[in-house]
Structure 1
Amino acid sequence: MIWLQNALAFLVTLGILVSIHEFGHYIVARWCNVKVLRFSLGMGKVIYSKRLGKDQTEWAISILPLGGYVKMLDAREMGAENIAASELPREFCQQSVWKRIAIVSAGPIANFLLAIFLYTILFVHGVPEPAAKLRVIPDTSIAYQAGLRYGDLITAVNGQQVQGWTEFRWKMMQAGLAEGNTLLEVLRIDGTAQEGGKNVSIEIPLKQFNSKDADSDILNFLGLNLARSREIILKGFLPESPAFLAGLQVGDRIVEVEQKPLLDVIDFVQVVNANPSKPLKLLVQRRQEKFVLEVTPVSQESNGKTVGALRVELQVAPLEMTVVQANPLQAFAKSVEKTWDTSIFSLKMIGKMLTGNASLKHVTGPLTIADYAGQTSRTGLITYLSFIAVISISLGVMNLLPIPVLDGGYLLYYSLEVLTGKPLHDRYIEVGKQAGLFLLLMMMAIAFFNDIVRLIPYFGRLMS
């Protein structure tokens, strides 16, 4: 049933985004007194329609749910001879170049406005998310060598305040594209700190980071992750568990392995995985008593490797959370900034992919979007609305690219018309459309290929 939930969430997302985009075109066309013949959600054959308003605009639902369009009175499609003389002043091509620019750009602008609106609502309401507190950092990692430590709370990146993990990761991704040094402000609580901790400034070198590597997950590249609870508590046992046979009980707390203190659950799992069929001495706390038990992890296959396993269920402690919230004015300003930053980041990534400085693996298609739509819708309304905002920005940016058949392609034509004082010849426009269509088909093929690699493990292993 998950695939059905994903499909429904995807269709709802797409319906919202396409409706807003096309309504942008529609409303500005009406403001410019251009006659709108049809407003369609979906492409292809019309399966339902109703005519409304003094212009009897046809509001339609078409059979293919991918996309939509606004059909205006246009002599290029209908022929000027088939348009009544009284209607010609309302024909699209009769409008000034500035009106045509306004109508075409209104679709992407509507997507940006939707993102700003959604983010504003979310920031006013308050968005709960993990605090930007760092997990244990390998001593060989870039972050550790730069001076970051377990439990550090990130408060600012390059002078910009950070309120949560998502914002921290986002600002680090932006810094990674810049490929320079990044200054982090950290609140550190240790044995020498006064009440509330001490502030530390740490410079992280990012010149080694290449957005082709590690699928651009800059935090993994640096050796950073979310801090976890230090409590490692047994919740239950799976069949034939060596831990149960050794005498461990539900509620036992694992303190050390081979006299090495454990930092969190992940640390414990990594130690067990690294020691298949090797006896391990565990320091166990049961209520007020501490004692040592020897346990031998069984060997099992995982992702083509032999790993150790105790076949236990561990209690998952909740992450330390914070609420990112602002008053309406601050929320609006924060939303505009986030929409702008996301748009610029998207353009930079596209530029890096075109120049070969970023992997084409980052191109995603409808299968991946549907998967994320389903996941976020199951997580909750706040996460789902955040997802819609991100995709709305992506749709706006994509449509502004100067590719013929997209809004950006028409804006390029009209910009040339402004510079030259005359419209581009129809022959050049037709050639541009064919080239643009070919380019879009190539992008779609790459996106579908990437979707298959991501979502079907067999293909993923095949390509690794």
Structure 2
Amino acid sequence: GGYVKFAGDANAASMPDAGATEAAAKDPGNFHAKPVWQRALVVVAGPMANFILAIVIFAAAFMIIGSPVSEPRVDAVMPGSAAERVGLKPGDIIVSIEGKEMKSFDDVVMAVIMRGGDELHVKVDRKGQIIDMVVVPDVVEDKDASGNVQRVGRLGIQYNAEQGARTYERLGPVAAVAKGWERTYFIVDMTLRYIGKLFTGRESAKQIGGVISIADTASTAASMGFFTFVSAIAFLSVSIGLINLFPIPMLDGGHLVYYGIEAVRGKPLGPNAQEWGFRIGFSVVVMLMVVGTWNDLVRKFASVFGS
């Protein structure tokens, strides 16, 4: 790929040098001479492109391959599970979770996966009778196809336990885009919930992964079929866009913070303040990369030596 630099940018991080302000005053075409809102739109455009790409990928997959079709029906309840404790029974239809309509069993899985330990209000259709329940999904450690262990929420119910049937329905353009938006929103929501739980001590930083995890996930997804592979690409695109919006100097989100301060103050932060901000931001990014790589290596050694 290539990188196109705006006139006036000193580097890829859009950090102006000491003479940027003076140059901007003399050249109206200079990036740093543009109004704050225009510079902010330029910065937001990158992450937005990631989100739009994910929606397009999902939509194309739903139109070409189709969307998994499954009724939000309980076919089996696992002994000792959260579902058993709350009284869910085989044959129950899950109507809604936290007020959101459940159209498929996949919707149920996505509504619960990042809500382990949280109280969820569930509406169930039992032979025509609507029953309100409050269920707390169990938090379990789940190993994916790449061997990565993740803490997820689980009700302990199964769909089509005996037949294991799974069909796909091709969607029209409008429905496919809507479904693509829904999947993209789910990834953003799931990531933000994880970060929130990470800061409150309810999740472990051991789940953070690096380039090795990305490579493993891509390889595994490719072996599991085209739909899974393109879904992994879309997931990665959303993750990149979301990470770029984090309020860390050096990332797009950090620039937006600087522009917000500039809009309030009427002038940008001084060069020293910006420089220190970028240094701190760089340190945070490097630290996250080190943590992710370390976790990847630990998982690799554990999988090799069986510990």
TM-score normalised by length of structure 1: 0.55
2:237 maps to 1:392: yes
2:7 maps to 1:73: yes
> 2:97 maps to which residue?
157
Greater C-alpha Rg: 1
Q: CA deviation at 1:349?
A: 1.6
Alignment of 1:303-318 (within 5 A): none
Give the 3 Å change call, closer, same or farther, for CA 155–94 of structure 1 in structure 2. Answer: same
User: Contact between 1:97 and 1:414, CA under 8 Å: does it hold in 2?
Assistant: yes
User: Contact between 1:133 and 1:226, CA under 8 Å: does it hold in 2?
Assistant: yes
Give the 3 Å change call, closer, same or farther, for CA 131–452 of structure 1 in structure 2. Answer: farther
| Mapped partners of 1:135, 1:454: distance in 2 | 34
Give the 3 Å change call, closer, same or farther, for CA 109–390 of structure 1 in structure 2. Answer: same
The amino acid of 1:90's aligned partner reads: G
Report the 3-state secondary structure (helix = DSSP H, G, I; strand = E; otherwise coil) of the residue aligned with 1:357: coil
User: Contact between 1:347 and 1:397, CA under 8 Å: does it hold in 2?
Assistant: no
> 2:135 maps to which residue?
205
Give the 3 Å change call, closer, same or farther, for CA 142–391 of structure 1 in structure 2. Answer: same
| Mapped partners of 1:446, 1:354: distance in 2 | 15
Alignment of 1:263-274 (within 5 A): none
Report the 3-state secondary structure (helix = DSSP H, G, I; strand = E; otherwise coil) of the residue aligned with 1:89: coil
Give the 3 Å change call, closer, same or farther, for CA 427–158 of structure 1 in structure 2. Answer: same
> 1:183 maps to which residue?
122
Given the alignment, which residue of 168, 172, 187 partners 2:108? 168
User: Contact between 1:210 and 1:357, CA under 8 Å: does it hold in 2?
Assistant: no
Q: CA deviation at 1:175?
A: 4.2
The amino acid of 1:97's aligned partner reads: V
Give the 3 Å change call, closer, same or farther, for CA 380–356 of structure 1 in structure 2. Answer: same
Alignment of 1:58-457 (within 5 A): 60=2, 69-74=3-8, 76=10, 88-125=27-64, 126-128=66-68, 132=72, 134=74, 136-150=76-90, 152=92, 154=94, 156-176=96-116, 179-185=118-124, 201=131, 203-206=133-136, 215-219=150-154, 222-229=155-162, 319-323=164-168, 325-457=170-302
Identity of aligned residues (%): 30
TM-score normalised by length of structure 2: 0.81
| Mapped partners of 2:274, 2:166: distance in 1 | 54
Q: CA deviation at 1:166?
A: 3.1
Q: Which string of whole-angstrom CA distances, capped at 9 and with x for unpartnered residues, describes residues 369-394 of structure 1?
A: 21111122222222211111111111
Q: Which string of whole-angstrom CA distances, capped at 9 and with x for unpartnered residues, describes residues 291-335 of structure 1?
A: xxxxxxxxxxxxxxxxxxxxxxxxxxx622133554322332333
Q: Which structure is higher in RCO with an 8 Å CA cutoff and minimum separation 6? A: 2
| Mapped partners of 1:98, 1:342: distance in 2 | 28
User: Contact between 1:135 and 1:150, CA under 8 Å: does it hold in 2?
Assistant: yes
| Mapped partners of 1:460, 1:434: distance in 2 | 39
| Mapped partners of 2:43, 2:268: distance in 1 | 16
Q: CA deviation at 1:406?
A: 0.6
Unaligned runs of 5+ in 1: 1-40, 42-59, 61-68, 188-196, 230-317
Coordinate RMSD, CA, aligned: 3.3
Q: CA deviation at 1:413?
A: 0.4
| Mapped partners of 1:417, 1:380: distance in 2 | 48
Give the 3 Å change call, closer, same or farther, for CA 438–119 of structure 1 in structure 2. Answer: same
> 2:146 maps to which residue?
none
| Mapped partners of 1:398, 1:151: distance in 2 | 41
User: Contact between 1:152 and 1:186, CA under 8 Å: does it hold in 2?
Assistant: yes
Q: Which moved more, 1:72-81 or 1:143-152?
A: 72-81
Give the 3 Å change call, closer, same or farther, for CA 427–451 of structure 1 in structure 2. Answer: same
Q: Which string of whole-angstrom CA distances, capped at 9 and with x for unpartnered residues, describes residues 173-222 of structure 1?
A: 25447x223304357xxxxxxxxx6566462422x756999843212xx3
| Mapped partners of 2:218, 2:125: distance in 1 | 34
Give the 3 Å change call, closer, same or farther, for CA 154–374 of structure 1 in structure 2. Answer: farther
Unaligned runs of 5+ in 2: 12-16, 143-148
User: Contact between 1:132 and 1:163, CA under 8 Å: does it hold in 2?
Assistant: yes
Give the 3 Å change call, closer, same or farther, for CA 331–106 of structure 1 in structure 2. Answer: same
Of Structure 1 and Structure 2, which has the larger fraction of its residues in strand? 1
| Mapped partners of 2:129, 2:241: distance in 1 | 40
User: Contact between 1:353 and 1:360, CA under 8 Å: does it hold in 2?
Assistant: yes
Q: Which string of whole-angstrom CA distances, capped at 9 and with x for unpartnered residues, describes residues 57-85 of structure 1?
A: xxx4xxxxxxxx4433226458859x999
Give the 3 Å change call, closer, same or farther, for CA 362–91 of structure 1 in structure 2. Answer: same
Report the 3-state secondary structure (helix = DSSP H, G, I; strand = E; otherwise coil) of the residue aligned with 2:28: helix
Give the 3 Å change call, closer, same or farther, for CA 351–139 of structure 1 in structure 2. Answer: closer
The amino acid of 1:347's aligned partner reads: L
User: Contact between 1:118 and 1:386, CA under 8 Å: does it hold in 2?
Assistant: yes
User: Contact between 1:130 and 1:165, CA under 8 Å: does it hold in 2?
Assistant: yes
Q: Which string of whole-angstrom CA distances, capped at 9 and with x for unpartnered residues, describes residues 209-242 of structure 1?
A: 56999843212xx33345433xxxxxxxxxxxxx
> 1:309 maps to which residue?
none
Q: Which string of whole-angstrom CA distances, capped at 9 and with x for unpartnered residues, describes residues 71-102 of structure 1?
A: 33226458859x999x9333221222111111
| Mapped partners of 2:262, 2:45: distance in 1 | 19
